[in-house]
């Protein structure tokens, strides 16, 4: 048939051209499992997208939770490669027990505490934390201070303001700071002490107002991480650490309300 061989070659070329991207896409990526403090959720999802665009052979697997709970899991052998805590204490504990690489903990950001209150209550931030004394605030969301650094910061700020004992019956303790923010989003609580990063969430900005708690009223929220000694993907984990501490990673953290380490 005239033109048959040429037509078949053209068709074969087209099929191969279509198959090549599928073959490349099927190439396995090296997973790096990251256990991260809950306040990092929004920021780290953007960091993940930017990092994977630069390193297409690596896939970041993110798990979020209270820093203390994640630390306990790591002591029990949880298979993570990187741990990003909301404080420096938990990474230091892990390093002291020989679970970190020799480089030890690395600071990556500074967090800040924010008071969030529903707009429809008609209150404002002029009274700062004493706004929480208003009788219309029946439930106040905070993270559990036993496992969450932001929970400890909230308790310290309330005690420093001299109102902890008064508002304690109305405190609703969340398992981590992300759950505390969820309590606010769902209306479970009318006010809460959360991270500035979470207070920047579009839904919370739309439905409530935020007052930044002065930094000197609670222990500094210096956040640090470690690379796990038992990890089998040290080179890839080191690439992630370098990206997080570099200009692009720091800019993404800053856009979510984090300060420099």
Task: Give φ, ψ of 229 to 5 degrees.
Answer: -60, -35
Q: What is the pLDDT of residue 124?
A: 85
User: pLDDT per residue over 241-258, tens digit each?
Assistant: 999 999 999 999 999 989
Report if residue 22 sits inside a domain: no
Measure Cα distances from 112 to 122, 177, 222, 226 in Å. Answer: 25, 12, 9, 21
Report if residue 194 sits inside a domain: yes
User: pLDDT per residue over 151-180, tens digit each?
Assistant: 999 999 999 999 999 999 999 999 999 999
Residues 206 and 119 in one domain: yes
pLDDT band, residue 23 (cuts 50/70/90): very low
Residues 104 and 119 in one domain: no
Residue 87: closest CA among 145, 149, 153? 149
Range of the domain at 81: 30-110+220-255
What is the 3-class SS of 131-143, one letter each residue?
A: HHHCCCCCCEEEE
**Reported pTM:** 0.84
Residues 47 and 174 in one domain: no
Report if residue 24 sits inside a domain: no
User: pLDDT per residue over 34-69, tens digit each?
Assistant: 999 999 999 999 999 999 999 999 999 999 999 999
Report if residue 23 sits inside a domain: no
Q: How far apart are CA 130 and CA 127, in angstroms?
A: 5
Which CATH number is 250's domain given? Answer: 3.40.190.10
Report if residue 96 sits inside a domain: yes
Residues 149 and 202 in one domain: yes
């Amino acid at each position: 048939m005239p033109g048959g061989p040429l037509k078949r070659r053209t068709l074969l070329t087209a099929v191969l051209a279509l198959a090549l991207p599928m073959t490349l896409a099927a190439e396995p990526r090296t997973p790096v499992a990251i256990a991260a403090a809950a306040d990092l959720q929004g920021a780290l999802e953007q960091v993940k997208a930017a990092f994977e665009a630069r390193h297409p052979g690596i896939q970041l697997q993110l798990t979020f939770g209270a820093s203390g709970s994640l630390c306990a899991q790591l002591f029990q052998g949880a298979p993570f490669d990187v741990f990003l805590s909301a404080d420096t204490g938990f990474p230091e504990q892990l390093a002291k027990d020989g679970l970190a690489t020799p480089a030890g903990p690395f600071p990556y950001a500074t967090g800040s505490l924010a008071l969030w209150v529903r707009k429809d209550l008609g209150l404002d931030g002029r009274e700062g934390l004493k706004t929480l004394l208003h009788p219309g605030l029946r439930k106040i969301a905070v993270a559990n201070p036993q496992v969450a650094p932001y929970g400890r910061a909230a308790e310290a700020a309330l005690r420093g303001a001299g109102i902890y004992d008064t508002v304690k019956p109305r405190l609703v303790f969340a398992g981590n700071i992300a759950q505390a923010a969820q309590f606010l989003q769902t209306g479970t609580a009318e006010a809460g002490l959360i991270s500035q990063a979470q207070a920047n969430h579009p839904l919370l900005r739309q439905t409530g107002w935020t007052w930044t708690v002065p930094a000197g009223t609670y222990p500094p929220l210096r956040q640090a991480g470690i690379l796990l000694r038992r990890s089998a993907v040290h080179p890839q984990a080191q690439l992630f650490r370098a990206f997080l501490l570099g200009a692009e990673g720091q800019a993404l953290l800053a856009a979510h309300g984090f300060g420099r380490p």
